[in-house]
Amino acid sequence: MMSSSSQSYVNAAKHGQNISVQRTKILLLGTRRSGKTSIQQVLFHHLPAKQTFYLEPTMRVAKHEFDTVIPLEIWDCPGNITVDSLGASLADFATIIFVIDIRDLYQQPVSKLVEFIVAACQVNPDINFEVFVHKAEKLQEDDKIENFRQIHERVVDRLADESPEYEQVPLNFHLTSVYDHSLQEAFSRVLHKLIDSLPYLEDLLNVFCLNTSSPKAFLFDTASKLYLATDSSPVDQATHNLCCDYLQMLTSFGPLYKSNAEGDIRAHLFSPTPTPPPTATPSPPSFSTSPSSTLKACVQSPPHTPSNLPLDARNAKPLFYPSAATSLSPSHPGTTLSYHLVTPHLALLALLPTTIYDMRRGLVEWNVVWFREGVREIWEVEKERSNAEGV
Ligand SMILES: Nc1nc2c(ncn2[C@@H]2O[C@H](COP(=O)(O)OP(=O)(O)OP(=O)(O)O)[C@@H](O)[C@H]2O)c(=O)[nH]1
């Protein structure tokens, strides 16, 4: 059985409704040393923030490909690039990210940004403009807010000077730094506008939260630590940071753990056709990292193998799905942060009441299976679509 959210996405994809078919291009612009290459390297190449200090200046446009739910192509540009020297039409880009050093209150970055906005609006009215007011951690809270406000005001004023019609151009401003998770949060929000399947992923997360009494759940890309979707409750920065830290810890230490279920098909934790969850099914973890945190792994056949999948996908070996959990507060009732890998590169991170996680583990895992199945179907459609287009 297919969840209604993923089923409607598959149907929409089959009918080719509103679905982009090319590698989505993002243009990374800004004046010299504003931090463009650092952003790209920290997010997509795991470069430690401190090592960005040693990055060489970018002399020509560098194109970086990154595959997540949608295939991306990020163009890192030199500081002196102009609309004419870019070598591509601005119509080819879905998003322009303009990086401004938060301490740079001079006219140059604002003029450059305005030049690109005016040129882009003429050829591509649907383009998204994102302004990363970067290196935010350099300033104290009050100065940070003041500089952010001034940069915002100057851009809006300069656009109004160009023509009143540009006052309506939607610009999204974000405070970012490579030294904390504000960069991941800002880039996640940029990405959300580009993912056609976002409403379907959000629906799946909402259903998961409803069924498991979870106050917050995210679908993360494990490589970049960007969240691709979350449920409809507001994102609180502390919770987001916590999830990023946990994901980082698991991806750093994960390879040290070996599943004793690996290679043993009989070790499936879930039956191929899930039955309704029992009310309480405590399942002891395979590994204990500390009294309050657990990491376990299971080999799982998909609960349902759609007959429309390619033959090699249907005959594929069972996938390996590690999961982990840690207790956030030992006090009663307490909260548990859980991690479940749902595709080779996507993970569900959810806050759960500890009572639910401890006493109704079957309910949680049953919902994870269905969430995983929904995401997997959406992911397969995206993958097939990209392959069909030769991306
Ligand atoms: N404090 C702080 N420094 C940063 C941050 N991001 C980048 N930097 C530093 O800014 C400097 C320039 O970074 P780059 O990534 O090379 O900047 P760029 O915009 O690609 O520079 P060009 O290639 O010359 O255009 C480096 O010394 C980085 O360490 C940040 O968030 N905070």
Q: What is the CA radius of gyration of the chain?
A: 23
Long-range contacts of 232-240 (CB under 8 A, 24+ apart): 232/202, 232/206, 233/209, 235/185, 237/185, 239/351, 240/181, 240/184, 240/185
pTM over 0.95: no
CB 268 less than 6 A from any atom of ligand 1: no
Do 379 and 69 touch, CB atoms closer than 8 A? yes
Q: Pairing state of beta strands 335-343 and 319-327?
A: antiparallel
State the chain's mean pLDDT as an integer. Answer: 80
Give SS3 for 328: coil
Closest CA to 208 of 51, 335, 320, 374: 374
Q: Which long-range contacts (CB under 8 A, 24 or more apart) does 140-146 make?
A: 144/102, 144/175
Q: What tens digit of pLDDT does each residue of 38-87 get?
A: 999 999 998 999 999 999 999 999 999 988 878 899 999 999 999 999 98
Per-residue model confidence (pLDDT) at position 283: 37
Contact indicator for 40, 64 with CB cutoff of 8 Å: yes
Say which residue the tokens 């179907």 belong to: 377
Please tell me the distance from the alpha carbon of residue 185 to that of residue 52, in angstroms, as a whole number.
Answer: 19
pLDDT of 382: 73
Distance 113 CA to ligand 1 centre (A): 18
353 DSSP assignment: E
Distance 104 CA to ligand 1 centre (A): 13
- In short, whether 58's Cβ falls inside 6 Å of ligand 1 is yes
Tokens of 33: 């040393």
Instruction: Tell me which residues of the chain have a pLDDT lower than 70.
Output: 1-22, 254-255, 257-320, 330-332, 385-391
Q: How far is the CA of 54 from the centre of ligand 1 (A)?
A: 9
| pLDDT given for residue 73 in this prediction | 93
Quote the pLDDT of residue 62: 94
| Strands lying side by side in the sheet with 216-221 | 226-230, 216-221, 346-353, 335-343, 319-327, 293-300, 287-290
Question: Given the CA of residue 42, which atom of ligand 1 is nearest to it?
Answer: 6
pLDDT in the model for residue 390 = 52
Q: Give the Å distance between the CA of 158 and the centre of ligand 1.
A: 25
C-alpha of residue 389 to centroid of ligand 1, in Å: 35
Taken as a whole, the chain contains a residue count of: 391
Can you tell me whether residue 329 is helix, strand or coil? Answer: coil
Q: Which atom of ligand 1 is nearest to the CA of 49?
A: 29
User: Kind and range of the H or E element at 130?
Assistant: strand 128-134
Ligand 1 atom 27: the closest Cα is on which residue? 53
pLDDT for the residue 291: 36
| Residue of 52, 82, 181 to test ligand 1 pocket, by largest number of atoms within 8 Å of CB | 52
Is residue 38 in contact with ligand 1, taking CB distance under 6 Å? yes
CA 109 to centroid of ligand 1, rounded, Å: 15
